[in-house]
Amino acid sequence: MRIEKKILICGAGIAGPACAYWLHKYGYSVVVVEKAQTFRDGGQNVDIKGAGQQVIKMMGLAEAIEAKDTLERGQKYLDAAGAVIAVFPKGAVGTLTSDFEILRGDFARVLFEATKGDCEYRFGTSVTNLDDSGAGMSVTFDDGRAEDFELVICGEGMSSSTRAKVLAQETRFRYLGAYMAFFKIPRRPEDDNWAYSVNGVGGTFITLRPGNEKETTVLITFLRKDHDIEGDNSAARRDLLLKALKGRGTVADRITAELDMVQDFYFGPMSQVRASAWSKGRFVLIGDAAYCPTPFTGAGTALALVGAYVLAGEIARGESYAEAFAAYERLVRPYVEASQDQLSPRFIRLLHAKTWFGISVTHLAQKFFSSGGVQKVLRPSAAKREKGVAEDFVFPQY
Ligand SMILES: Cc1cc2nc3c(=O)[nH]c(=O)nc-3n(C[C@H](O)[C@H](O)[C@H](O)COP(=O)(O)OP(=O)(O)OC[C@H]3O[C@@H](n4cnc5c(N)ncnc54)[C@H](O)[C@@H]3O)c2cc1C
């Protein structure tokens, strides 16, 4: 597609810079605006799964990512006293650990470094108004500056404010009946390179994962019927978290003792973004802004990477933006929906046993599925595994 003006990308997370990479490769001029004042390197462990790994390889970034791998060896389930119930090494069916394990901030930095020389990044900037004139997109920024762009690509994550200006009616949030908190605590000498997960009564699920040499990362999810904690009420969040941790065993006690020192803290509802349309006119969504599957799936990065690759490729080969956006949605939507449909409120309740009896049954299931015999039956052959990754998403060539 021949383009006269620049393309604007909103959001310098994962999807935005990945899309900027491909658009620059196809010869377009790209401006990326990010509302944070500086590059955001927050976040805990992200898994780069299936087709996402292929995009990383096509971008030539596999080595840079591997250099930052957290080296997680697999996942162990513990009981409340800290005794090991079941072990799922990396590669086992059902383990949390994928082939590429990296802290979100490290991953975002690899993408930023790969694009900052070729694309224009403007930090501390966001969109206040968009006007689709037919011939282009007139955009006003919060510093008062107005500028024309050929297209606007919105990769602002789950709570995107620019999406709300254009596709509010089309966007729906699906609450899965739980809240999530992520943060880091100081690493201890006994923290090795395993992820440790423990079920707590009342429907709490806690996982500790290797972070960097100084920090261990924490992921806590807990059942909550209603999505009723809005905004930035840090006292309410803290109280809820303390309640979810109280009396939940040794791992929970350690986290409670460290909670006051936590700086980089994410807390929010476990919700998916489901948009009935991903574009309107010259405006199009990518990544979590369009199809957040929730960080609980570990699939958000793969969806963002695949979406960025396809959107940029379709813009390059399409006759018009309308054709390109339609092809992007047609190709990526089934992949997104397959990933999002893996989670339901019912499945989340199943993973978060509430009673001691439920937890005992969960432990039995964890033991059963981790046993050598069951893993042998469940584990696809090497050939099928190769094929599985390849078929996760069938990549168009651009
Ligand atoms: C700080 C942070 C920590 C995270 N931690 C985890 C984690 O620990 N585990 C996990 O699985 N996932 C985490 N995620 C989500 C994960 O990055 C995404 O699920 C996934 O990688 C898809 O990326 P994305 O680029 O679509 O969205 P995001 O990574 O959320 O990036 C969106 C970017 O847009 C920016 N932005 C938002 N609004 C505007 C605006 N109005 N104008 C301009 N810019 C805007 C944000 O500051 C952010 O940099 C985190 C996201 C962020 C932003």
Q: Where are the domains of the chain?
A: 7-70+101-173+272-343, 74-99+176-270+344-389
Confidence tier at 194 by pLDDT (50, 70, 90): very high
CA–CA separation, 238 and 218 (whole Å): 15
Got the DSSP string for 163-177? HHHHSTTTEEEEEEE
Q: Which residues pair with 47 in a beta bridge?
A: 101
Predicted pLDDT at 23: 98
Q: Which fold has domain 7-70+101-173+272-343?
A: FAD/NAD(P)-binding domain (3.50.50)
Distance between Cα 334 and ligand 1 center (Å):
22
For a mutational test of ligand 1's pocket, the pick from 40, 122, 272, i.e. the residue with the most ligand atoms closer than 8 A to its C-beta, is 40
Confidence tier at 385 by pLDDT (50, 70, 90): low
Distance between Cα 333 and ligand 1 center (Å):
20
Distance between Cα 157 and ligand 1 center (Å):
5
Predicted pLDDT at 305: 97
pLDDT tens by residue, 341-380: 999 999 999 999 999 999 999 999 999 999 999 988 887 7
Pick the more confident residue, 159 or 42: 159
Q: Whose CA is nearest to atom 49 of ligand 1?
A: 13
Q: Whose CA is nearest to atom 39 of ligand 1?
A: 156
Q: Whose CA is nearest to atom 14 of ligand 1?
A: 43
Domain 7-70+101-173+272-343 matches domain 74-99+176-270+344-389 at the CATH topology level: no
Q: What is the overall mean pLDDT for the chain?
A: 92
- Scanning the chain, the segments in alpha helix (DSSP H) are 15-25, 50-58, 62-66, 104-115, 161-166, 234-245, 250-258, 288-291, 300-317, 321-340, 345-351, 356-370, 372-378, 382-392
Name, of 1-5, 106-110, 384-388, the range with top average pLDDT: 106-110
The mean pLDDT value for 215-238 works out to: 84
Q: Is the pLDDT of residue 149 over 90?
A: yes
Domain 74-99+176-270+344-389 has CATH 3.30.9.30: yes
Distance between Cα 220 and ligand 1 center (Å):
18
Confidence tier at 383 by pLDDT (50, 70, 90): low
